Structure 1
């Protein structure tokens, strides 16, 4: 009788393990199919947009910290008779112009090796701040820069805070 009890318990445990295996496999196949469908959708969206590169991750909603999608900043600029594209272009031009200075960009409070630090990327957060990446060939960092546009539409820049990554 005892032998039969162990045999029945073994068969019962084997059946339960088989059920778990089959259900787990079906669940895994379903997840893999969903992942494949999502990848196809992403590829279709990239092809439809015509661009595979983006400066911001696309999550379906606009990034909350951009000059282009900030109604308060757009209204502020509209009152100054400016558009977001004009401001972005003026700030970018000024940042790149400062890169041409001897010894590097004066907005970067660090001393770079050789030619000095140069601003490589920028991202306008709103109508007053811009985030930048800078490098000197060996070292790199990030900075937050405040910009103001006067009545003559001249851009004035000042560094709020900078961070240098050490090797």
Structure 2
């Protein structure tokens, strides 16, 4: 009788060990699959980051803040570039406050509205791209700027266009 109890206990213990082995093997394989998926996702994210950094480098190519030659030009004239960039933009935005027609935008606004400059991008130490709108019509312009000895800024529109209204 004692021998049968030990045999039943032995068989029960073997079944328990077998169950634990099969269950842990399944859990281990599931975890490996999950880790493999995470590794693929991680590689995809790394590729996306590299692609975004490349795109950022391309987009910031024509940007005064990233153009060492243009920055050197202003520094050689004694300007602090970090203060100068906002000052140039502020001067352009101040022109939005002028009564009647905008002094820089070469197009008249629709009735009851005013053309205003929305976005400004300084390309280098001489060129600016800006867009403008009156809420109905919009366009873009390419202009040059010059900083006078008295630190006033002159703007000259070189080219502009107005998008067609549908």
- Structure with the higher helix share, 1 or 2: 2
What do residues 110-132 of structure 1 show as CA deviations (whole Å, max 9, x unaligned)? 00112321000000000011100
Structure 2 residue 45 is the aligned partner of structure 1 residue 38 = yes
What do residues 18-77 of structure 1 show as CA deviations (whole Å, max 9, x unaligned)? xxxxxxxxxxxx9xx5698238965xx9xxxxxxxxxx9862536221111112111110
TM-score of the aligned structures, taking structure 1 as reference length = 0.64
- The alignment yields a C-alpha RMSD, in angstroms, of 2.8
Please identify the structure whose Cα radius of gyration is greater.
2
CA contact (8 A) 1:90 1:155 kept: no
Runs of at least 4 residues off by over 4 Å: 33-36, 39-42
Provide the aligned length of Structure 1 versus Structure 2: 124
Structure 2 residue 93 is the aligned partner of structure 1 residue 93 = no
CA contact (8 A) 1:67 1:84 kept: no
CA distance in 2, matches of 1:39, 1:135: 39
Query: SS state of the match for residue 55, structure 2?
Result: coil
* Residue 105 of structure 1: how far off its partner (Å): 2.1
* Residue 149 of structure 1: how far off its partner (Å): 0.5
Structure 1 residue runs without a partner (length 5+): 1-29, 46-55
CA distance in 2, matches of 1:60, 1:66: 11
